[in-house]
Amino acid sequence: MTGTSLKTYALTRLALVVPMVLILLTFVFLLMRVAPGNPIAAALGGHVPPSVIQRISHRLGYDKPIYTQYGDYLWGVLHGNLGRTITDRRAVSSIIVENGGATLELTVAASFVAMVVGLVVGLLAGRFRDTWIDVSGRLFGIVAYAMPVFFLGFLAQLLFGIWLGWLPTSNQASPITQAFLPVHSHILFIDAIWAHNWGALWDVVKHLILPATTLGIVIGGVFIRLVRINVIRSLKDDYVEAARARGIRERSVVYRYAFRNALVPVVTVVGLQLALLLGGAILTEETFNWPGIGSTLVSYLAERDYAGVQGIVVVFALVVVVASLLIDFVNAFIDPRIRY
Amino acid sequence: MTTEPVLQLRNLRVYYGTSGRPVRAVDDVSLEIGESEVVGLVGESGCGKSTLGRGILGLLPEGARAAGEVNYLGRNLLSLPPKAVRRLRGPELGLVFQEPMTRLNPLLRISAHFRETLRLHEPQLTKEQARRRSLETLGRMGIPPTRFHQYPHEFSGGMRQRIMIALALVLRPKLLVADEPTTSLDVIVEGQILALLADLKRNFGTALLLITHNLGIVAEACDRMAVMYAGKIVEEGTVRGVFAEPAHPYTRELLRSTISLDTTELHSIPGAPPNLVDPPSGCRFHPRCPNAMRVCVDQVPIEQRLADGRRVQCWLHGPSQRVPAGGEAPLEQPVGVADEA
Amino acid sequence: MAVASRTAPGRRFVGRRLRRLWSPIAHTQGLARVMLLSGASITLFFIVLAFFARWIAPYGFTQYAAHGVRFPQLGHPGGVHPFGTTVESDDVLSRVIWGAQTELKVVVLALVLSLAVGVPLGLFSGYFGGALDRGLVLLMDAMFAFPPLLLAIVIAFELGSTVSSGVVTAAVAITIAYVPQYFRVVRNHVISVREETYVEAARALGARPMTIIRKYVFFNVVQNVPVLATLNAADAILTLAGLGFLGYGVQPTQAAEWGYDVQRGLSDATNGIWWTGLFPGMAIVVLVTGITLLGEGLNETTNPVLRRRRFGRFDFEPVSPMFAEVEPPLQPDEGLGE
């Protein structure tokens, strides 16, 4: 009975993605058409004459029957065409490319912080269960999650930005850096390294610290609870007792047996927290004036630009699907039992 | 016994704390296991035998405490600091558990399991030496070297148990405790595992404490046996002797309850297993004993040594001068206890 | 038993069931009890604030003057305005108290809706299975993949133009975002209970599905719901605050909302004004912490894996003197009986 190879698992899992994506796309499509009224009229404001509205509707294809719209929509997504915004006529795909980098920078940095916080505190809390280490760790986790990310951001800005003046409180980088840094990947962090511009890199990092740590701590708070419970559960497992019977040192038992095995479900949970991460990113970007997709979405919402909103929401949904796919792969890599 | 016993338990007690009074799982047990001997420990579920096994290795769960002596090669393990006992676990004392399916780390290959334990306890071995010793021990258990690098989930239950035994034996411990090693395996695999265990003394020179509820296993594999009831050892002697002429009524009833091809009707011991928090007074078996006497309710039996070296705790075997007047009269038991035969 | 009883058999049954639900809570010990009690008191405090806001809050939530005198703009905390005033001269303390009422209204409505929709869906989907189940699972999984805040924002955005009550808009948005969670938890629990042997036995004896659901499945599943509800109430408040922060859901003209206040406080922060954002934000943190503690405390008591039993201390009594004299082996024929 040999295990299925990673490759087979990957292919099978990939195949399951298709129906999920289809459902999500349909869901978003319907979602955007639930509101009554003409989306064009809403986006353009109230004082536009009906003839203009009709002309634009026709040009953008909003007067076609719903099934045709649906078909065009799916066809477009398949080809990477996510439509154009109504208000400023930008292609959604270019919005993603230009602003996506900022969001990526933020979420990756925040995930890193969240993982470190969650794993370290969760492991200590689980290992030293019911001691003061455990209690304070758990309390920290609870309060961290109870903090709305924008409130923590508010406090961080107040403390580190205004009162101590150590770190900047808005934007991705200072205007000078942004003006002079050549754009390659649209991710300032990488572009700075690319250009060997260490001053710019430091500037970027300084701007990244507050938003990433804020979001990371809040998400990390949730991790703590999960890691802790999994460590406690693993420490009770049969193979842990068997290892102790062989005289394995308690430290090895905790780290090599309990912790590693506790990580397995945690990796899945990281995938579930992705939804939290993306939602939190939207709020974080608003709080810190971070020019990512989240704040872009908020401004299109404010302008009632349905096309823009739809395009960005589709991207969010697809990102979650792809990310959970990757999470499953990592899981299968770690735990050989999962490969069907 | 001419040489010093490998293991000597004296007045061992293991109690579990609860929200009320403690559970007296092991209540004053004395037992000796000699070099390369195979001793069987039998009893119903819940009589305390698993606790005894774990107590020997110091693997008691939270809330449990032990008192008395667990003398391994003369040293009392209960008086040693936990770190010292941990160091003995593996190279000197081994434990094989009941459920092989869950006792191996699913994320580690079998080779990693062996490497870890050898590197910890015998660091002077080179990687190659360690590998060779592991393969040799596995080979004696019937696991081919081609499967050395596989993961636990790729093996069946019987093979996993063999791997567990090999993992315990690769360090050549002087004493191996096997807690119901074949209970969750089917009969054919059971036979193979038993053959392996019975050969321990020949191949490895290891003494074995075989804990089980199955008398058949004891008959097949053990030199001596101890019968445990309600936390006490009620009878102990050679397997031959005990099977031929059981001294304690409980042993007798147990033997009569076993099923064989000659069985025509089911015989069971009436009553329920005793409450270990509040055990019956005097002899703990008296509520279910067909031969119970008045003295059995009032006084705990004194251990007696019989002619063939057997030990037994039962008023039927004396000492008669300790029995008060009228104590020998049969006890009136509620209906259902007396033996119908 | 021919014992006369004062309560009708049906009532005794319910009483027994309730007692069974309550007993693990009454027996909590240690940390779980502390969490449970502190969480409950914090939550209760805010509920009282919310209920009696009209009598507790010194001023209205958009009141910027009293007795014809306008309150100071961005006044420092102290005196008549212990939490200070906003740029529009609103009393921060009053807005915090009124905000509690808003939060409570929305969360309670959202919880009721989520339970009313999620639990029955999960119950029937889990028990009956089939195409309905598969379809629902697919739909719920897709929704589950969505960031809940995003979903809530979009729905609030869409409903905001038609539904006048911000409270209802926010509640519906939150409900739709969190129903998949209730559905999934309830359904999974129902499926595991459905396979239990006692349910199988009931089916074999010919019990109707509704009866089985009512007597066995429901009570079992319902035990999980309080924990889920408290943990979801916490999420609901955070989502509501998020909506308010972005300007969706409850509108500032309709009621005071903590998230909205923090957003206003954010711009004040650049000028070093800290009280307009701090107090509403702290209110969110404290309330959510309280609810989470309550939920965790409940979880620890009802979840047997996490429950820790208290071990009594005991001492070994000295070995009975009789055994000390066990050594001298007696003559083998001294035994009595057979």
Task: For residue range A184-193, list pLDDT tens digits in order.
Answer: 777 777 777 7
- How near does any CA of chain C get to the CA of B125, in Å? 41
Interface check B59 vs A, CB under 8 A: yes
What's phi and psi for A35, nearest 5 deg?
-70, 140
Quick one: pLDDT at residue A313?
A: 85
Which of A149-153, C28-32, C310-314 is modeled with the greatest confidence? Answer: A149-153
* Residues of chain A found within 8 Å of residue B150, distances taken between Cβ atoms: 2
* Residues of chain B found within 8 Å of residue A250, distances taken between Cβ atoms: 86
Query: Are residue A66 and residue A99 in the same domain, yes or no?
Result: no
* Residues of chain C found within 8 Å of residue A296, distances taken between Cβ atoms: none
Interface check B67 vs C, CB under 8 A: yes
Quick one: pLDDT at residue C337?
A: 36
- How near does any CA of chain C get to the CA of A308, in Å? 12
Q: At what angle do helices B110-121 and B157-169 cross, to 10 degrees?
A: 20
The band of A42, judged by pLDDT with boundaries at 50, 70 and 90, is low
Q: At what angle do helices A132-146 and A198-235 cross, to 10 degrees?
A: 120
- Which is more confident, B42 or A60? B42
* Residues of chain A found within 8 Å of residue C138, distances taken between Cβ atoms: 19-20, 23
Interface check B21 vs C, CB under 8 A: yes
Average pLDDT on B313-323 reads: 82
Q: What is the pLDDT of residues C94-108, one digit of tens each?
A: 889 999 999 999 999
Quick one: pLDDT at residue B149?
A: 92
Are C309 and B15 in contact (CB < 8 Å)?
no
Domain boundaries, chain B: 104-169, 251-339
The band of A284, judged by pLDDT with boundaries at 50, 70 and 90, is very high
C30: number of Cβ within 10 Å: 11
Are A245 and B97 in contact (CB < 8 Å)?
yes
In 3D, which of B250, B188, B197 has the Cα closest to residue B220?
Answer: B197
Strands B38-42 and B207-212: parallel
CA-CA distances (angstroms) from residue B219 to A59, B16, B158, C140?
92, 31, 21, 59
What's phi and psi for A218, nearest 5 deg?
-65, -45
- How near does any CA of chain C get to the CA of B66, in Å? 9
Q: What is the pLDDT of residues A90-123, one digit of tens each?
A: 777 888 888 888 888 898 899 889 988 988 898 8
**Whether residue A54 has pLDDT greater than 70:** yes
Q: Which residue of C has its CA nearest to A287?
A: C266
Quick one: pLDDT at residue A324?
A: 75
Q: Which residue of C has its CA nearest to B292?
A: C337
C residues 67-86 closer than 8 Å to B (CB) = none
Are A150 and C262 in contact (CB < 8 Å)?
yes
Quick one: pLDDT at residue C154?
A: 84
Are B59 and A247 in contact (CB < 8 Å)?
no
Are B89 and A264 in contact (CB < 8 Å)?
no
Tell whether omega for the bond before B319 is within 30 degrees of 0, i.e. cis.
yes
The band of A334, judged by pLDDT with boundaries at 50, 70 and 90, is low
The Cα–Cα gap between C225 and C212 comes to 19
The Cα–Cα gap between C330 and C338 comes to 17
Mean pLDDT, all residues of chain A: 79
Domain annotation covers residue A129: yes
- How near does any CA of chain C get to the CA of A309, in Å? 9
The band of C320, judged by pLDDT with boundaries at 50, 70 and 90, is low
Q: What is the pLDDT of residues B176-200, one digit of tens each?
A: 999 998 888 888 888 888 888 877 7
The Cα–Cα gap between A285 and A305 comes to 19
Query: Are residue A45 and residue A126 in the same domain, yes or no?
Result: no
Residue in B16, B28, B323 nearest the CB of C319: B28
The Cα–Cα gap between A230 and B106 comes to 15
Interface check B167 vs A, CB under 8 A: yes
Q: What is the dihedral of CA B215, B220, B222, B228, to 10 degrees?
A: 0
Average pLDDT on A279-305 reads: 88
The Cα–Cα gap between C338 and C322 comes to 25
Interface check A338 vs B, CB under 8 A: no
User: CB of C186 within 8 A of CB of C126?
Assistant: yes
User: CB of A99 within 8 A of CB of A166?
Assistant: no
The Cα–Cα gap between A329 and A338 comes to 10
- How near does any CA of chain C get to the CA of B337, in Å? 18
Residues in Cβ contact with C6 at an 8 Å cutoff, skipping those fewer than 6 apart: none
Instruction: Give the rounded distance of the alpha carbon of A299 from its chain centre.
Output: 19
Are A151 and C139 in contact (CB < 8 Å)?
no
Quick one: pLDDT at residue C26?
A: 59
The band of C85, judged by pLDDT with boundaries at 50, 70 and 90, is confident
Mutation choice for B interface testing from C311, C327, C331, C334 by most B CBs within 10 A: C311
**Whether residue A3 has pLDDT greater than 60:** no
Quick one: pLDDT at residue A277?
A: 86
Strands B93-96 and B75-76: unpaired
Mean pLDDT, all residues of chain B: 86
C176 exposure class (CB count in 10 Å sphere: 0-12, 13-18, 19+): buried
**Whether residue B89 has pLDDT greater than 50:** yes
Residue in B86, B108, B154 nearest the CB of A247: B86
- Give the 3-state DSSP-derived string for chain C, with helices as H, strands as E and coil as C: CCCCCCCCHHHHHHHHHHHHHHHHHHCCCHHHHHHHHHHHHHHHHHHHHHHCHHHHCCCCCCCCEECCEECCCCCCCECCECCCECCCCCEHHHHHHHHHHHHHHHHHHHHHHHHHHHHHHHHHHHHHCHHHHHHHHHHHHHHHHCCHHHHHHHHHHHHHCCCCCHHHHHHHHHHHHHHHHHHHHHHHHHHHHHCCHHHHHHHHCCCCHHHHHHHHHHHHHHCCHHHHHHHHHHHHHHHHHHHHHHCCCCCCCCCCCHHHHHHHHHHHHCCCCCHHHHHHHHHHHHHHHHHHHHHHHHHHHHCCCCCCCCCCCCCCCCCCHHHHCCCCCCCHHHCCCC
Among A63-67, A233-237, B160-164, C232-236, the range scoring the smallest mean pLDDT is A63-67
- Which is more confident, A265 or C273? C273
Interface check C326 vs B, CB under 8 A: yes
At C251, list the tokens.
């509108």
Domain annotation covers residue A317: no
Interface check B27 vs C, CB under 8 A: no
User: CB of A185 within 8 A of CB of A193?
Assistant: no
Among A107-111, B48-52, C200-204, the range scoring the smallest mean pLDDT is C200-204
Helix (H) or strand (E) run with residue B211 in it: strand B207-212
In 3D, which of A36, A31, A178, A25 has the Cα closest to residue A101?
Answer: A178
- Which is more confident, C215 or B135? B135
Interface check A261 vs B, CB under 8 A: yes
Interface check B278 vs A, CB under 8 A: no
Quick one: pLDDT at residue B1?
A: 45
Domain CATH code at residue A141: 1.10.3720.10
Q: Which subunits have 3 or more CB–CB pairs within 8 Å of chain C?
A: A, B
Are A20 and C142 in contact (CB < 8 Å)?
yes
User: CB of B136 within 8 A of CB of B55?
Assistant: no
At A101, list the tokens.
């980098």
CA-CA distances (angstroms) from residue B208 to B41, B96, B175, B291?
10, 11, 6, 33
Query: Are residue A150 and residue A291 in the same domain, yes or no?
Result: yes
What's phi and psi for B25, nearest 5 deg?
-70, -40
Residue in B59, B95, B107 nearest the CB of A335: B107
Quick one: pLDDT at residue C21?
A: 59
**Whether residue A143 has pLDDT greater than 90:** yes
Are C158 and A150 in contact (CB < 8 Å)?
no
Query: Are residue A139 and residue A62 in the same domain, yes or no?
Result: no
Q: What is the pLDDT of residues C118-147, one digit of tens each?
A: 888 888 888 787 888 888 887 887 777 778
- How near does any CA of chain B get to the CA of A245, in Å? 6
Interface check A239 vs B, CB under 8 A: yes
Interface check C6 vs B, CB under 8 A: no
Interface check A264 vs B, CB under 8 A: yes
At A217, list the tokens.
């701590």
Q: What is the pLDDT of residues A306-318, one digit of tens each?
A: 778 888 888 888 8
Place of tokens 């079992």: C220
Supply the range of the domain harboring residue A233: 95-302
User: CB of C166 within 8 A of CB of C104?
Assistant: no
Place of tokens 């000699």: B34
Mutation choice for B interface testing from C23, C307, C330 by most B CBs within 10 A: C330
Average pLDDT on A250-260 reads: 80
Quick one: pLDDT at residue A62?
A: 67
Average pLDDT on B235-243 reads: 92
**Whether residue C23 has pLDDT greater than 70:** no
**Whether residue A57 has pLDDT greater than 80:** no
Three-state SS at A47: coil
Strand partners, B72: B7, B75
- Which is more confident, A257 or C43? C43
Are C147 and A279 in contact (CB < 8 Å)?
yes
Quick one: pLDDT at residue A216?
A: 93
Are B317 and C338 in contact (CB < 8 Å)?
no
- Which is more confident, A5 or B314? B314
The band of C11, judged by pLDDT with boundaries at 50, 70 and 90, is low
Residue in A130, A229, A317 nearest the CB of C146: A317
Mutation choice for B interface testing from C29, C336, C338 by most B CBs within 10 A: C336
Quick one: pLDDT at residue C6?
A: 53
Three-state SS at B311: strand
**Whether residue A68 has pLDDT greater than 80:** no
Among B65-69, C88-92, C108-112, the range scoring the smallest mean pLDDT is C88-92
- How near does any CA of chain A get to the CA of B231, in Å? 23
Quick one: pLDDT at residue C317?
A: 72
* Residues of chain B found within 8 Å of residue A3, distances taken between Cβ atoms: 151, 153-154
The sign of the torsion formed by the CA atoms of B89, B91, B92, B98 equals positive
Quick one: pLDDT at residue A231?
A: 84
Residue in C316, C320, C335 nearest the CB of B318: C335
**Whether residue C327 has pLDDT greater than 70:** no
Q: Which residue of B has its CA nearest to A3?
A: B154
**Whether residue A298 has pLDDT greater than 80:** yes
Average pLDDT on B76-100 reads: 90
Average pLDDT on C278-284 reads: 93
> Domain C27-304 falls in which CATH fold?
MetI-like fold (1.10.3720)
Q: What is the dihedral of CA C243, C249, C255, C256, to 10 degrees?
A: 0
Residue in B86, B154, B164 nearest the CB of A3: B154
Residue in C146, C150, C292 nearest the CB of A282: C150
What's phi and psi for B94, nearest 5 deg?
-125, 155
The Cα–Cα gap between A189 and C321 comes to 80
Q: What is the dihedral of CA A23, A29, A32, A37, to 10 degrees?
A: -140
Quick one: pLDDT at residue C333?
A: 39
Quick one: pLDDT at residue A40?
A: 65
Are C312 and B319 in contact (CB < 8 Å)?
no
Count up the domains in chain A and report the number: 2
Quick one: pLDDT at residue C330?
A: 36
The band of C273, judged by pLDDT with boundaries at 50, 70 and 90, is confident
